[in-house]
Structure 1
């Protein structure tokens, strides 16, 4: 398993950054040419590979118009062809779902699946129509990236202990040396991304080399529920990543205040421009409405959130050999419209980071991740199965007369759902609700007939209504 690491440049010379920007711009033209020529049925859809594209360009002299070194445009062609292939495979996923809905004949399904896998779908009218519907011709929007082959870069440490990365420039035998803010030398194929005067060096390493991958997993089986104030709550009642809520709330409040101030400054700049004071409008936009500082603050916040979530998942895996969780890659449409402030705090990207962390950490440390159907796990009592009422972090069961901690109750339900023979991962939520109600009805019919006479005072005193809340 491979994981991506990012190294950042430190105090890069503006002249070097400008040279890298120009090289990335020219390589963006290479990407655009690849997408224009081969991002259709006649390209990757017909089984064309990047090596044949490079051979064609060398024969036809297409590469001469870009003004970059041979290794640079060849790696860019390979990367762009890989992007087109990824978009094609994503379209095939939707077509396969359509095939499953269209026919139940195993032989016909096998024939269509085989044609899709072998890229022979153009001759089949139904498959060609579906692929045209789901696979649109794309275009390149990347003009800030440079792909460097593994044998075309080197690193050196100077006398002050700083690490320098040397990559090829636009001129032959002239390297651009980039100072890095890390002491770990990047290895393998590099992807340089230029953002806001800084270079991001993306590279992959083997996950087994990481210290966190060498930590053994636990032996228990737990269910986990994603929360807001904490990253995860397990079925034992333990919260993990309790600082997540403070991070999201603090960032939301900061963004609200910052956006209010920027809107006021933008209004002042527009008013000045209408009066003819373009110098004032330019000063405000140049000094107060830039995006470089804003983007760096957003990247720093995302890094803190990722650290909090990954740390929480590691703590869960420390105690669990099997982790039951809902499939967080699915999208759920809410019925209630929320405000901007709430939407910022409940941003969907944090759910994606949690899904990535659960998958990555469990694979690297040898723990099994089991996805379950999470329908009504937050609305059913884990003791009796009856649908109750949730209010904030409390779940009220009207049958058990107990108030549970809502996230702990949901985590226990997720753990039970992992071994449920009636509720599969893709069971519709309407059917899940019917199954839960049928179980509750069967449980109620097994109980003895209740005496309708009023209970005496001493009986009520011996059996009072219980109310408890889990810590």
Structure 2
């Protein structure tokens, strides 16, 4: 696993930026051609080397007017993106195969074809891939990929670091001043934004200070949240500033869009009256995207910092972190207001999933995904379904009021090692299992399966996190 670091250009000459922008535009055409020709079924099983050889044979590469190393690296990068697009679809197709047939031999045959990228040979697999894989299209025209042996760095007499990369012309380099004294290494990805260049490169995470921090020794369940990033099964909230951060940004965007809509209406009215000069001035000076993009990038950075800090705090005390799979999509059935829908739309569960995975790998802890169906609706004490109201869960059977996130985190931890509710158990089956267990608990019948948490684990949940339901 590698960690991405970003350096920035420092007071880059406008002429150099224009030359880089032209190179990125031409390489964007290369990406578009790769997606158009090989992003469909016809490109299944092809490698970037095979695409390169085809383009060299038919002369396709000549129409882009860029150096060979530049377009070859762009082809490789685009083919990697296409492969990732197909891999995401294969996850859903594997689930469809399990529902389609229970014959082990047939499942093995379909899985083998899917893994070998020969799914186009089977009509059922081809149909499922068309259903679950959306045809991609290139929208990237501001990036340059530079191979590791095609760039170099040098510091001037003032200690300023300069990065030299190939230009559009052979044996001519574009030298970019950097705002760091750490030289980027390996393959570089240059992203051009608003007159600045971002240099993305990867480093070994073992060299990072946070990777040297040891993980804890306990097993902890965590529940994602909106007000706080994570709540663990010990009742501790981590990343408590996340909710305020997301709410403030959502409300700011709402007000900004309201003002922009007013200005857009004024510009349209001016254009209707024939005052095109006024309309153009408003669009140029008041409806641009440069400031909006800078603010969005700053907000994303703050959110990532809050979430990664919360995950580090969890790993500080856990050698095993039990969590739900946040990469899966979910849809709530409860209708919400427009403001809440807007805030949840900006909710960063993808960042939380990334943080849990990366931090656990770097610091040596184990991340275990469990089936989280109904963990926020079931009492972790007796297993009965309770009444959820805000951040409280009232159990009508045992009369206890839980803090909802703490209760969910305990339920997530109890799912660890549960043989009945595996990660892929359908939620309807999970509900039946939970109701059956609750009925046995109410009738005081002995539990005959091995899915309940051990007595030692249940003892770790004292009633300090609950209040009496009086």
Give me the TM-score of the superposition, normalised by structure 1.
0.89
Where structure 1 has 5 or more consecutive residues not aligned to the other structure, the ranges are 448-466
Cα RMSD (Å) of the superposition? 2.2
The aligned counterpart of 1:19 is: 19
Whether 2:54 is the aligned partner of 1:29: answer: no
User: Equivalents in 1 of 2:238, 2:94: separation in Å?
Assistant: 38
Write the distance in 2 (CA, Å) between the matches of 1:236 and 1:134. 39
Number of residue-to-residue matches in the alignment: 449
Q: Counterpart in 2 of 1:49?
A: 47
Q: Select which of 185, 188, 191 maps to 1:190.
A: 188
> Shift of the alpha carbon at 1:58?
3.2
> In the TM superposition, what is the alpha-carbon distance from 1:359 to its structure 2 partner?
1.0
Partner in structure 2 of residue 460 of structure 1: none
Give how far 1:292 is off.
0.5
CA distance 1:5–1:431, change in 2 (3 Å): same
Write the distance in 2 (CA, Å) between the matches of 1:385 and 1:130.
38
Deviation at 1:399? 2.7
**Structure 2 residue 160 is the aligned partner of structure 1 residue 162:** yes
SS of structure 1 residue aligned to 2:348: helix
In structure 1, the residue matched to 2:334 is 336
Q: Residue 380 of structure 2 is aligned with which of 367, 382, 390?
A: 382
Shift of 1:159: 3.6
Q: CA deviation at 1:129?
A: 4.0
User: 1:436: Cα distance to partner?
Assistant: 2.3
Q: CA 1:387–1:94 in 2, change beyond 3 Å: closer, same or farther?
A: closer
Once residues 62 and 6 of structure 2 are traced to their aligned partners in structure 1, the CA distance between those partners, rounded to angstroms, is: 32
| Pairing 1:299-448 to 2, within 5 Å after superposition | 299-347=297-345, 349-446=347-444
CA 1:165–1:222: 2 relative to 1, 3 Å: same
Separation in 2, partners of 1:98, 1:72: 40
Residue in structure 1 matching 2:116, options 115, 118, 125 = 118
Please state how far the C-alpha of 1:440 moved relative to its aligned partner. 2.2
Cα 1:165–1:341 change in 2 (3 A) is farther
**Structure 2 matches for 1:258-277, cutoff 5 A?**
258-277=256-275
1:106 corresponds to which residue? 104
TM-score (norm 2): 0.89
Unaligned runs of 5+ residues in structure 2 are 446-465
Equivalent residues of 2:246, 2:347 under 8 A apart = no
State the Cα distance separating 1:106 from its structure 2 match. Answer: 2.1
CA deviations over 1:312-338 (Å, ceiling 9, x no partner): 000100000111111111222111333
Residues 9 and 290 (structure 1), Cα distance of their counterparts in 2 relative to 1, 3 Å cut: same
> Which position in structure 1 is the counterpart of 2:221?
223
1:74-113 equivalence runs, <5 A: 74-113=72-111
Describe the SS at the equivalent of 1:369: strand
3-state secondary structure, aligned to 1:346: helix
CA distance in 1: counterparts of 2:91 and 2:368, whole angstroms: 22
CA distance in 1, matches of 2:352, 2:248: 19
For 1:178, the equivalent position in structure 2 comes to 176
Q: Secondary structure at the match of 2:25?
A: helix
**Worse-matched range after superposition: 161-170 or 306-315:** 161-170
CA distance in structure 2 between the partners assigned to 1:237 and 1:33 by the alignment: 53
Q: 2:455 corresponds to which residue?
A: none
Moved more, 182-191 or 60-69: 60-69
* Residue range with higher mean Cα deviation, 159-168 or 351-360: 159-168
Work out whether 1:298 is the aligned partner of 2:334. no
Please give the alpha-carbon distance, in whole angstroms, between the structure 2 residues aligned to 1:63 and 1:369: 45
249-258 vs 351-360, greater mean Cα deviation: 249-258
Cα deviations by residue, 1:248-276 (Å, 9 ceiling, x for unpaired): 12112211221121111112222222222
Offset of residue 133 of structure 1: 4.5
